[in-house]
Amino acid sequence: MALSQAGSCAFGGAIASAGFVCAPRTSLHRLVVRANAEPSEKSVEIMRKFSEQYARKSGTYFCVDKGVTSVVIKGLADHKDTLGAPLCPCRHYDDKPAEAGQGFWNCPCVPMRERKECHCMLFLTPENDFAGKDQTVSLEEIKEATANM
């Protein structure tokens, strides 16, 4: 994962350098890390293939807006790279590594497997108003849809 270059700044006697941005000096205990998370192309391809296979297996379809599909696949790929598991990118977690280890929200999550309920709108049942007709998405479509993000 690439970290943004932010120079260096003093922080409570320590030095926070490249990749760290000092928060406003309201508290000496605050340090903000800004990550420019770009998943590996290999992980994006793995999650793309997984998504296509799971859509076919589950009888679900991708969103009519392939941008939604693309962002979710990239989020899954990023979590696969950083956490070792495709943790759902559409939820907030207090402790992502613990959640990834527990497995409940790893894609396909338990609600998807049990009830075909995908919070991310990656896997949509045919009767869903946002369901498209496709169970495929190309790497090029993903790159194009997420190029300016």
In whole angstroms, what is the distance from residue 98 CA to residue 22 CA? 27
Task: Measure the CA–CA gap between 14 and 16, rounded to whole angstroms.
Answer: 7
Rounded Cα distance between 58 and 99, Å, is: 24
How far is 135 from 50, CA to CA, in rounded Å?
A: 11
Selected catalytic residue, list 88, 90, 107, 120: 90
Identify whether the C-beta of residue 16 lies closer than 8 Å to the C-beta of residue 22.
yes
* 120 given a catalytic annotation: no
User: Which single residue is written with the structure tokens 């995908």?
Assistant: 118
Strand 2-3 to strand 31-33: parallel, antiparallel, or no bridges (unpaired)? unpaired
Which residues are annotated as catalytic? 90
